Structure 1
Amino acid sequence: MERSGHARLLPDDVDTDQIIPGEYLNTIPEDQLGEHVLEGYDADFPERVADGDVLVAGKNFGLGSSREAAPIAIRNAGVAAVVAESFARIFYRNAINVGLPIAVVPGITEHVSEGDVVRVDLTEGRVENTTTGKSFSISPLPDDLTEILEAGGLVPLRQRQRTAEREAGRGAGRNEEGE
């Protein structure tokens, strides 16, 4: 699984309230959360982020609440991936569960500037600043997490699995004539 895009830099300790301010959680539909991504950090950020961008953050990205709205807002803003020096544990898992590719790269912020092109390959275990040629090895994601991301999240994966199970069950015990 590979993603590539222009870097949008963020500091250490960006919390979920900065990623998606609480005022939007019960007032707009989930598919509109991306229109307000990182407004709590910078009111102009939603206008600057472009489809396919890669967020490059410092330490402890996504700390705060356990709500899934934060990675959903990032995903719905069209962000291709998030690379950070470290993530809050619950944010990391929520990101995977909603289909948002993420990678931990200690020291990444020292080697990426705003607008650099960053390529993230979670299968091969590599993050590269293609603008400067600096490359980082990371642990490839386990197959089960890659499967969740490729499906677009845990819910779409389970829906596909249930559909496949139902379809397999319909064919069980039938002869060539369907009897």
Structure 2
Amino acid sequence: MNGRIIRGRAYVLGDHIDTDQIISAEHLKLDPSSPDGYAGLGRLAMCGLPDGFPPFVDPASGTSPYAIIVAGDNFGCGSSREHAVIALGAAGVRAVVARSYARIFLRNCVSTGELLPVGCAARLNEAVRTGDEIAVWVDERRVGTPDGRVDAPIEPVGELAGIVEAGGLFAYARAAGRMPARAG
């Protein structure tokens, strides 16, 4: 997370973005534990968005030029599939800034370590535009644009940032000595 600052271009969405919009159920056969399956999920991230949204993934690179998703309420609602979080991480997303999250989506972010879920009470999805440069200053508890046009407080992320930085819950627990290292 580069000094606890996450920077990148924003991709802006509305309220109630569900896991079917993030990755359609027909693609759940891809195995995220294989390199090809992981990359395939990244290439398909946001494939279920309705027409009218700008492309999320660059077809040439298979990754997204957007490191931060900015959304409204109830991001990641729908099914409990980890594939949704993994698809976003595989595409290159490092954080989602939303007013609220579906509980299971937030837990999947933490357990997989793919991306940091950041809460923000402000309706940033009405102030930021897709393609804007944006930064999340994790330790300063704020999010905004480098030019200062947008600057809003975020909810404290506490230990979540360390868990995501470590690569997920199990990696964090191993690094903290809370569970034995893997053999071998």
Query: Displacement of 1:155 after TM fit?
Result: 2.8
Following TM superposition, the consecutive aligned residue runs of length 4 or more in structure 1 with deviations greater than 4 angstroms are: 161-166
Correspondence for 2:82: 68
Larger radius of gyration: 1
Give the conservation status (yes or no) of the 8 Å contact 1:51–1:80: no
CA distance in 1, matches of 2:140, 2:148: 20
Query: Does 2:133 align with 1:130?
Result: no
Cα deviation 1:136-164 (Å, max 9, x = unaligned): 11222113x22211101113223445699
- Residue 89, structure 1, aligned to residue 97, structure 2: no
Q: Measure how far apart 1:97 and its partner are.
A: 1.7
Aligned residue for 2:47? 39
CA distance in 1 between partners of 2:139 and 2:111 (Å): 17
Residue 22 of structure 1 corresponds to which residue in structure 2? 25
Q: Secondary structure at the match of 1:63?
A: coil
- Aligned residue pairs total 166
**What's the TM-score once normalised by structure 1's chain length?**
0.81
In the alignment, is the contact (CA less than 8 A) between 1:50 and 1:78 conserved in 2? yes
Q: CA deviation at 1:132?
A: 4.6
Paired with 1:114 and 1:146, the residues of 2 have a C-alpha distance of 24
Percent of aligned positions with the same letter in both sequences? 38
Measured in 2, the distance between the counterparts of 1:34 and 1:120 equals: 22
The C-alpha deviation readout for 1:39-91, integer Å capped at 9, x for no partner, is 01157432376345211112111000111111111011001211112111111
TM-score (norm 2): 0.79
Change (3 A) 1:112 1:12: same
The answer on 1:113 being equivalent to 2:132 is no
SS in 1 for 2:118: strand
The more displaced of 156-165 and 93-102 is 156-165
Structure 2: gaps spanning 5 or more residues? 32-36
Partners of 2:170 and 2:179 lie apart in 1 by 14
Shift of 1:19: 0.5
Query: 1:45–1:165: structure 2 CA closer, same or farther, 3 Å change rule?
Result: closer
Say whether the 8 Å CA contact 2:22–2:49 is kept in structure 1: yes
Q: CA deviation at 1:4?
A: 0.6
Q: Which has the larger helix fraction?
A: 1
